[in-house]
Amino acid sequence: MQLGDKMDLASYLLKPIQRMSKYALLLKDLIKTCGEVQEQELAYLRAAEQMVCFQLRHGNDLLAMDAIRNCDVNLKEQGQLMRQDEFCISLGRRKYQRHVFLFEDLILFSKPKRVEGALDVYLYKRSFKGRTSPGGLPQWVWLNVVSRVGCTRERQEKALWSPVPCACLTNEDMLSCPWMAEIGLTENSGESGLCFEIWFRRWKSRDTYILQASSPEAKQAWTSDITRILWEQAARNKGQSPHSPSIWYPISSGACEKSPREQMGLP
């Protein structure tokens, strides 16, 4: 029997990623209806929800990664794709809408292109390696005994700066030193609570990327992941393993008139 429908059967079937979304919604509803007294059942449902949400996000990440076009970088060599999301990005006086991909060893900026009736594609714009400097650590650094910010040359306030051998640097001291990473992060920018900064050691301060996230939760997730990546790279450069990644930050946030680059004596 023929129905004379122009669309084939596959067009009416849910794709795997769509079925996962249905499972996630079902688990949310079950958690809402499950009483607090049913502790074991509630724990099982929450664990299942976390697993489904992780798989859903991972599937969406892979689909988005496959949609990158005109990219001359081998993305398979950049480590795991940690996050991907759309941001309003300010660079100097210019503003862009960019889809950003965060890999373990790379930050990639792309321009989203809407395709009617199909998945979006992302046109590659540029990318930056997020690795520590190949030169490694110097033998000695100048360390501010008050703010604990490292410097490779003596400052004018000699009373506040002391020479310290790198072998004696604490983990926190090590992460404040500008040579530890090519990419720097400032967790808070502006007053909206949605913006953070990514800057590059060899660039001028006006070339700082300001990324505006869609929500405070999205911003927190991105800054946490970037912080952890920078810490792990710095720890590998020093030959140590991280102990509590959540408490170490490459650049401390706060209301300071000077940019992080200026605070650390970078041009």
Mean pLDDT in residue range 233-247: 50
Q: Summarize pLDDT for 18-75 with one digit per residue, the tens.
A: 777 888 888 888 888 887 777 888 888 889 988 888 888 888 888 889 999 999 888 8
**Average pLDDT of the residues in 106-123:** 86
Beta carbons within 8 Å of 109's beta carbon, 6+ residues apart: 89, 98, 99, 100, 125, 126, 127
Return the pLDDT at 4.
62
Contact 137, 120 (CB under 8 A): no
pLDDT band at 258 (very low <50, low <70, confident <90, very high): very low
Residue 247: which pLDDT band, with cuts at 50, 70 and 90? very low
CA dist 265 and 175 (Å) reads 15
- pTM to 2 decimal places: 0.61
The predicted-structure confidence for 161-202, as pLDDT tens digits, reads as follows: 445 554 555 544 444 444 444 677 888 888 888 999 887 765
